[in-house]
Structure 1
Amino acid sequence: MDVAEFRCSVSLSALKLTFMLLFALSPVEGQLHVVGSPQPIVAAPGDDVILPCHMEPKFNVVGLTVEWSRPDRNMEYVHLYRHNREMTYIGRTALFTDGLREGNISLRITNVTQEDEGRYRCFVPKLKSQTKSSIVHLIVAKTVTTETPLHPETLQTPNLAEEFHSKGGMTRRSRLIPLVVFGFFLLLCVAVAGGWFIESKRRKTELASATS
């Protein structure tokens, strides 16, 4: 094997290893979880409110079905997202469609009433995971004291990146990517050094043969 073939072989091996590691670190559906708010969401009548729910780790759900229902009221659907279309069953609900690619399946309810109080279930039926759903509890109280008002002008789509970070939340992939890059760089260095060593040895051999 000459120097060029050796360099090509080492470079291909390094690329294969990098792709294998990146593939192993990318999230698969079996590792996903549907996560809702562990604390009740409190709102006053007439407020707009967000029922938080997201995929952990982040996962694109644009091509999946997302169902919001009320199990305590035997309501099969409150809001349904299917085939890239939204259907609201109470006329005052919406998803953050721009956030679906990041796994944000939170539900926004406008002008809440006392009848809206209760348990809500966010469910991704076609998700290949043991945790396909989560329950969010909404409390509608006449007097609400919160540090952050729930009026429409203050509502924002939940920032999942900040939420993950606050939980100590770098994902396994984000922690290991620098190691993958470093390993790939190290393999390239070894390939270059090996090629230089073989080339140097070959030249010394040729020089010795020429002078003998």
Structure 2
Amino acid sequence: THTHCCALRSGHPRVIGSPWPTTATPGDDVILPCHLEPRTDARALTVEWELTDMKMAAYAGRASLLAGDLKHGNLSLRIGNVTHADGGRYKCFVPKLWSHAIVLLQKYTYMNKIKRNESFVQVLVTVVVFPSSDRWTRHMWILPVVVIAVTLLATGLALSLTRKHLQPDVSQR
């Protein structure tokens, strides 16, 4: 039998995503952040970006790695002309390292003062190390707390913007 050891050893690179949300309006370019830690040359590694039900033709000419940055361990995916259909759960995976990061592309809609729907896309990145380690399991509670905090912040911002733009302009009376 042939066995692959999947445990991450100290000093071996692992795939990391940013814990901070990124926003982009539809039509803009967005970068789904992902890198190796410690920073390691990734030019010789296979980097797989996956999305459930990904229609490859929809990304032709719009999606690419930041090739010049691979030597610095940057695995980020650039998606041009972001659309609502691009939303979903992306996985940045390096098979040789048995490590990946999950990137969630979420959509939010709010109303502006002329009552026209405008949308923006929020990218929320969570870090997952495969296979799970005791360190990850101990800190797993942080993820739901961060997701809830970001959701509440985004909802509060959207409500604030909606109220501000729907209030009558007193200066025109």
TM-score by length of 2: 0.52
Flag the structure with higher helix content. 1
Deviation at 1:29, TM superposition (A): 8.3
1:54 aligns with 2:54: no
2-side partners of 1:35 and 1:145: how far apart? 21
Moved over 3 A (4+): 140-146
2-side partners of 1:33 and 1:99: how far apart? 16
* Counterpart among 42, 58, 77 of residue 107 in structure 1: 77
The one-letter code of the counterpart of 1:90 is Y
| CA shift in 2, pair 1:38/1:117, >3 Å | same
Match of 2:119 in 1: 143
Deviation at 1:145, TM superposition (A): 9.9
Flag the structure with higher strand content. 2
Note if contact 1:43-1:140 (Cα within 8 Å) is conserved in structure 2: no
Matches within 5 A, 1:71-150: 73-75=52-54, 90-91=59-60, 92-127=62-97, 132-141=99-108, 142-144=118-120
TM-score by length of 1: 0.43
The one-letter code of the counterpart of 1:143 is S
Q: Secondary structure at the match of 2:85?
A: helix
| CA shift in 2, pair 1:126/1:134, >3 Å | same
Q: Deviations over 1:145-190 (max 9, x none)?
A: 99xxxxxxxxxxxxxxxxxxxxxxxxxxxxxxxxxxxxxxxxxxxx
* Structure of greater Rg: 1
1-side partners of 2:91 and 2:72: how far apart? 20
Note if contact 2:49-2:92 (Cα within 8 Å) is conserved in structure 1: yes
| CA shift in 2, pair 1:31/1:112, >3 Å | same
2-side partners of 1:124 and 1:97: how far apart? 15
| CA shift in 2, pair 1:104/1:35, >3 Å | same
| CA shift in 2, pair 1:74/1:41, >3 Å | same
Structure 1: 5+ residue stretches without partners? 1-27, 79-87, 147-212
Q: Deviations over 1:47-84 (max 9, x none)?
A: 110000000111011111000001xx244x86xxxxxx
2-side partners of 1:145 and 1:51: how far apart? 12
2-side partners of 1:44 and 1:113: how far apart? 8
2-side partners of 1:89 and 1:95: how far apart? 16
Aligned residues with identical type, % of pairs: 48
Higher relative contact order (CA 8 A, sep 6+): 1
Q: Deviations over 1:5-30 (max 9, x none)?
A: xxxxxxxxxxxxxxxxxxxxxxx886
The one-letter code of the counterpart of 2:28 is D
The one-letter code of the counterpart of 1:117 is G
Count of residue pairs the alignment pairs up: 104
| CA shift in 2, pair 1:106/1:94, >3 Å | same
